[in-house]
Amino acid sequence: MSLISFSSAGEEAEMNDFVGGVYDGDGSYATAGNVAVGAHGAIIKAGDTYFTPNGVYVKCGDSYISPRRTVVRAGDSFVGHDNSQVKAGDVFVGQATAISSGSTIFRKSWASR
């Protein structure tokens, strides 16, 4: 039995918000419930814990905490000390732009010149 079979639509929405608004990795991800898979690895959500290629994040209330950074969700905004993202429908805009389309999240970081 797979991890995906235990997920709900709410978990997939939380995963989309995490990948689009919180996670600082590049690339596109395909999501299915509590799992997101991209070229740089997989992200797995287990309860309030997200296991990512860049380390572990824990959701505590409206905050996502990892050893590297903390991101706070305030409505449709995700704010960290080094980045902020704003969610407008299925689009996350900030230092990186992410577009959620069904079960796929397309993410592109802005390159500095």
Report pLDDT digits (tens) over 42-100. 999 999 999 999 999 999 999 999 998 999 999 999 999 888 888 888 888 887 677 77
- Confidence at 36, pLDDT banded by 50, 70, 90: very high
d(CA 50, CA 71): 13
pTM of this prediction? 0.79
Distance CA 52, CA 88 (A): 24
Residue 60 lies in a domain: yes
Q: Give the end-to-end CA distance of the chain in Å, rounded to a whole number.
A: 47
47: left (phi > 0), else alpha (psi -120 to 50), else beta? left
Q: In the chain, how many domains are there?
A: 1
Note whether residue 63 is domain-resident: yes
Per the structure, the complete domain to which residue 24 belongs is given by 3-107
Q: Which residue has the higher pLDDT, 32 or 107?
A: 32
Do the domain assignments include residue 112?
Answer: no
In a domain? residue 100: yes
